[in-house]
Amino acid sequence: MDSLAFIEANLDRFRDELDDFLRIPSVSAKSEHDGDTRAAAEWLCARLSEAGLDAGISETPGHPIVVAEWRGAGSDAPTVLIYGHYDVQPPEPLELWDSPPFEPTVRDGRIYARGSADDKGQLYMHVKALEASLADGGTLPVNVVVVAEGEEEVGSPNLVPFVQAHAERLDSELVLISDTGWFTPDLPALGFSLRGLAYFELHVRGANTDLHSGEFGGAVANPANALARIVASLHDERGRVAIPGFYDDVLEWDAETRARIAALPHSDVDFAASLALAELSGEEGFSTLERLWIRPTCDVCGLISGYTGEGAKTVLPNHAVAKVSFRLVPNQTPERVKALFEAHVDTVRPPGVRVEVRELHGGRPWKAALGGPAFEAAADALEEAFGTRPVPMGGGGSIPIVVDFEETLDASALLVGFSQPGCNLHAPNEWLGVENFEKGIGALARLYQRLG
């Protein structure tokens, strides 16, 4: 029996097992679920073992990392590292779930459960594709290392140190990740980019205390006004970030990529309508998808100053804060953006206030070639499994560990995801399509064979 026939014959069992996996509330952010998170690691380790891999649990200062290896392709064959995560986002607010988050429920062809799409369901598709590939004396043309962490939803604090410490054991040519989605409900996608992140708090301070706006207003700089002035200076009239040097490192994307983005089935009208917006807005000279995927941004994520309660309190605040987030594109770095941002803030600082920039978070952008053997192998495998050739899709968000894997292991990453738009990642009623789960296992089994 070949692997595809094995999958077909065992789908019911695979679905039951996935339900078992999803029932474990492995919420990494909450210490009350530490036992559940470890149980999920142990459960996953056992399934990888049963699938024919040499599986074990590696301790970290936080939640453990499951590592499973199959080296049957021999030392001359390439190695593929499959990365996923077994932890999930907190399910709250619980009252907005139509069925309990940790009781998987199928409705309208969708498996509703926390973690179904992000990422237990997609990770488990690999486990089953590996099992099917190795069943009945089956074999793979590549060696495989599975690395499944339990801290992705809390920022992966222990993953990079682990990969660095075990770089030789984890040495791979390709890092395969299924933690993304399709472009439309019917159109599979292969990821070709992710934006990086540089996130700061900008503090503006004035006098030693809040002041009466009548007694002092007009003769003392107002930190809230000053903050607004600084934030406003971050963009020009064309929607570009106005920090000198900000675009120096920004990659001018190649014409082919821009042409393929332009060919995607996207409607600005529908996009705006879905957000109840009368008009879109962004950098001149770029389409909506380009603005989301291949152009950097500067967005304020929060503002706070002075009196924010009901009514008209006449206070001149002595402190104002903005959370300022930059999304980065190749070849920007958080370090360089921080230096430029700080220099700019210092330049535009209005008189009478002090400013401070605090770095909260940084992550590098990623891009992949729109082609090459692995990319084409994945496109072929998905087309065979789903009947539709995948499109290249950029990512507006940030998955910093993709770049970390590539650099630490000197590998290339391939993002092959199976969730569909509207699948409620990080929100109530998260779901994964039953068909995508079932056909996706076959797609992955096909892909492994093509990577040799």
Q: Which is nearer to a second copy, 165 or 263 (CB)?
A: 263
Residue 211 in the binding site for a second copy (CB under 8 A): yes
Q: Which is nearer to a second copy, 12 or 279 (CB)?
A: 279
Q: Which stretch binds a second copy (CB under 8 A): 74-82, 88-96, 100-108, 313-321?
A: 313-321
Interface with a second copy (CB under 8 A), residue from 56, 282, 428, 434: 282
Residue 269 in the binding site for a second copy (CB under 8 A): no
Beta bridge partners, 184, equal: 187
Residue 222 in the binding site for a second copy (CB under 8 A): yes
Q: Residues near 174 by Cβ (< 8 Å), separated by ≥ 6?
A: 78, 79, 80, 81, 374, 411, 412, 413, 414, 451
CA distances from 139 to 51, 71, 231, 280, 305 (A): 12, 10, 58, 51, 62
Alpha carbons 110 and 421: distance in angstroms, whole number: 13
Alpha carbons 193 and 330: distance in angstroms, whole number: 9
Q: Which is nearer to a second copy, 70 or 341 (CB)?
A: 341
Contact assessment for residue 249 and residue 379, using Cβ atoms and an 8 Å cutoff: no
Q: Which stretch binds a second copy (CB under 8 A): 64-72, 92-100, 222-230, 331-339?
A: 222-230
Contact assessment for residue 110 and residue 433, using Cβ atoms and an 8 Å cutoff: yes
> CB of residue 230 vs a second copy: minimum separation in angstroms?
8
Please give the structure tokens belonging to residue 430: 């998260």
Residue 217 in the binding site for a second copy (CB under 8 A): yes
> CB of residue 316 vs a second copy: minimum separation in angstroms?
5
Q: Which is nearer to a second copy, 36 or 119 (CB)?
A: 119
Q: Residues near 218 by Cβ (< 8 Å), separated by ≥ 6?
A: none
Residue 214 in the binding site for a second copy (CB under 8 A): yes
Interface with a second copy (CB under 8 A), residue from 283, 342, 380, 384: 283
Q: Give residues 333-362 in contact with a second copy (rule: CB under 8 A).
A: 350-354, 360-361
Q: Which stretch binds a second copy (CB under 8 A): 46-54, 106-114, 157-165, 392-400?
A: 392-400
Alpha carbons 450 and 388: distance in angstroms, whole number: 18
Residue 424 in the binding site for a second copy (CB under 8 A): no
How many CB atoms sit inside 10 A of residue 109's CB?
10
Interface with a second copy (CB under 8 A), residue from 4, 11, 106, 315: 315
To which H or E segment does residue 326 belong? strand 319-328
Residue 281 in the binding site for a second copy (CB under 8 A): yes
Alpha carbons 255 and 410: distance in angstroms, whole number: 27
Residue 317 in the binding site for a second copy (CB under 8 A): yes
Q: Which stretch binds a second copy (CB under 8 A): 103-111, 192-200, 334-342, 431-439?
A: 192-200
Contact assessment for residue 299 and residue 234, using Cβ atoms and an 8 Å cutoff: no
Residue 225 in the binding site for a second copy (CB under 8 A): yes
Residue 257 in the binding site for a second copy (CB under 8 A): no
> CB of residue 290 vs a second copy: minimum separation in angstroms?
9
Residue 296 in the binding site for a second copy (CB under 8 A): yes
Q: Which stretch binds a second copy (CB under 8 A): 24-32, 66-74, 124-132, 202-210?
A: 202-210
Q: Which is nearer to a second copy, 93 or 351 (CB)?
A: 351
Q: Which stretch binds a second copy (CB under 8 A): 21-29, 143-151, 269-277, 380-388?
A: 269-277
Residue 89 in the binding site for a second copy (CB under 8 A): no
CA distances from 297 to 204, 241, 294, 336 (A): 22, 7, 10, 15
**SS3 category, 23:** helix
Residue 301 in the binding site for a second copy (CB under 8 A): yes
Residue 308 in the binding site for a second copy (CB under 8 A): yes
Spatial CA neighbour of 324 closest among 246, 402, 427: 246
Residue 219 in the binding site for a second copy (CB under 8 A): yes
How many CB atoms sit inside 10 A of residue 247's CB?
14
> CB of residue 417 vs a second copy: minimum separation in angstroms?
14
Please give the structure tokens belonging to residue 178: 């299924």
Q: Using alpha carbons only, what angle is made at residue 102 by residues 433 and 41, rounded to the nearest 5 degrees?
A: 95
Residue 216 in the binding site for a second copy (CB under 8 A): yes
Interface with a second copy (CB under 8 A), residue from 88, 321, 382, 413: 321
Residue 323 in the binding site for a second copy (CB under 8 A): yes
Alpha carbons 116 and 425: distance in angstroms, whole number: 9
Q: Which is nearer to a second copy, 244 or 397 (CB)?
A: 397
The half-sphere exposure of 148 on its side-chain side, counting CA atoms within 13 A, is 35
Spatial CA neighbour of 26 closest among 41, 16, 13: 41
Residue 297 in the binding site for a second copy (CB under 8 A): yes
Hunting for tokens 């020009």 — which residue is that? Answer: 236
Alpha carbons 379 and 187: distance in angstroms, whole number: 12
Q: Give residues 393-422 in contact with a second copy (rule: CB under 8 A).
A: 395-398
